[in-house]
Structure 1
Amino acid sequence: MAEDFQIKNKVADSGLINFDIASLVPKGQRIGVDLSSFLFEGIILKEKDFRDKVAALDPEQFRDAYVYIYNSAEAIVPLWAYFLITARITEAARKVVYGSREDLEVLLMHNAIQTYDFSELMHKRVLVKGCSEVQIPENAYIELVEQLKPLVKSLMFGEACSNVPIFKN
């Protein structure tokens, strides 16, 4: 006597929308430019030498890349040095920033969140995926909540089987 039974997917039936913040991470190569490699003996900026090294940069190596310029040397570098490098590569690169790789990722996620159209989530129950294979800056989650709070019916964080309720409107 086999009884008729149905397996119900309560998560699918709940109307819960899974949102993976990793889907907002811009695709593309990340390249760091260390100013110390442009300095004389790694510590002194000599303008002529510096300009020659910047002129020797092939902008094509930065084509469609996200570039972060940093200085690993304990040398004081004038602001115009960053201007020169940026001016040399900016037409090829997608984005050029000053700072670390982490600074670049924070800015990229900020831009992605600010320009994303979240209207599809209006008045929905949203679950922001908790685990990702991609490193997501913590600040991105804060900005995501700021964007979603006025729109969604409820917001949760984690996985469907074990989520943390954040708020309900």
Structure 2
Amino acid sequence: MSEEFEIRNKVAESGLVNFDLSTLVPKGIRKGIDLKDFLFQEMILKEKDFREKVEAIDTEEYKDAYIYIYNSVDTIVPLWAYFVLTAKLTDTAKKIVFGNREDLEVILMHNAIQTYDFEDMRGKRVLVKGCSDKEIPENAYIELVEQLKPIVKSLMFGEACSNVPIVKN
């Protein structure tokens, strides 16, 4: 085959590092626990009833799960209640947070980005993939830029054929 008709992968030859943030999304089951289910008439926290309901939780149902605890009713819940519920589940769950599913995902991605070793991207041209089949919290992209900006030669967002330059060092 002559050189003028040779098919070349210019993206592969460019030295561009493609990074897909969705690869950092922790795998595992997400489960929510609504505190209203532990309240008397879904309104009042009675300590004895609350503790009995927490004690009755089958922790195997939450084994290796990412749990978010929330309260869907407008009731004041004392802080110790979160302690009791968390203490029951902490030995079996992977992570427990207060908030909704989105809050859980933000925290999980924060932890993943903070613990990821980006050293292999030092001094390189990095393209952060723009499309993903997984939902990525916007905050994860902000944290990613914080991690990459000081170490990369250039940072881009999008796809190899169409990207937006972000940083050039």
Deviations 1:27-49 (A, max 9, x none): 11001000001111111111111
Match of 1:26?
Answer: 26
Instruction: State the distance in 2 between where 1:158 and 1:152 align.
Output: 16
Gaps of 5+ in 2: none
CA distance in 2, matches of 1:34, 1:152: 43
Distance 1:37 1:157, change over 3 A: same
What residue number does 2:150 align with? 150
Secondary structure in 2 aligned to 1:23?
A: helix
Tell me the CA shift for residue 131 of structure 1.
0.3
What count of residue pairs does the alignment treat as equivalent? 168
Distance 2:12 2:83 in 1: 52
Seen in structure 2, the aligned counterparts of structure 1 residues 125 and 44 have a Cα distance that, compared at 3 Å, is same
Give the drift of 1:3: 8.9
SS of the residue corresponding to residue 126 of structure 2 reads strand
Structure 1: 4+ residue segments shifted above 3 A: none
Match in the other structure for 2:126: 126
Residue deviations 1:41-85 (CA, integer Å, cap 9, x gap): 111111111111000001111111100100001111111111110
Give distance in 1, aligned partners of 2:5 and 2:60: 62
Q: Aligned partners of 1:168 and 1:161: how far apart in 2?
A: 18
The answer for the alignment partner of 2:97 in structure 1 is 97
TM-score of the two chains, using structure 1 as the length reference: 0.97
1:17 aligns with 2:17: yes
Deviation at 1:4, TM superposition (A): 5.3
Residue identity matched to 2:99: G
User: Amino acid of the residue matched to residue 18 of structure 2?
Assistant: N
2: CA distance, partners of 1:136 / 1:5: 41
**Alpha-carbon separation, structure 1, partners of 2:163 and 2:141:** 15
Given the alignment of the two structures, is residue 66 of structure 1 paired with residue 66 of structure 2, yes or no?
yes
Two-structure CA RMSD over aligned residues (Å): 1.2
Distance, in Å, in 1 between the alignment partners of 2:12 and 2:99 is: 43
AA aligned to 1:84 is V
| Identity, % of aligned positions | 71
Structure 1: segments with no counterpart, 5+ residues: none
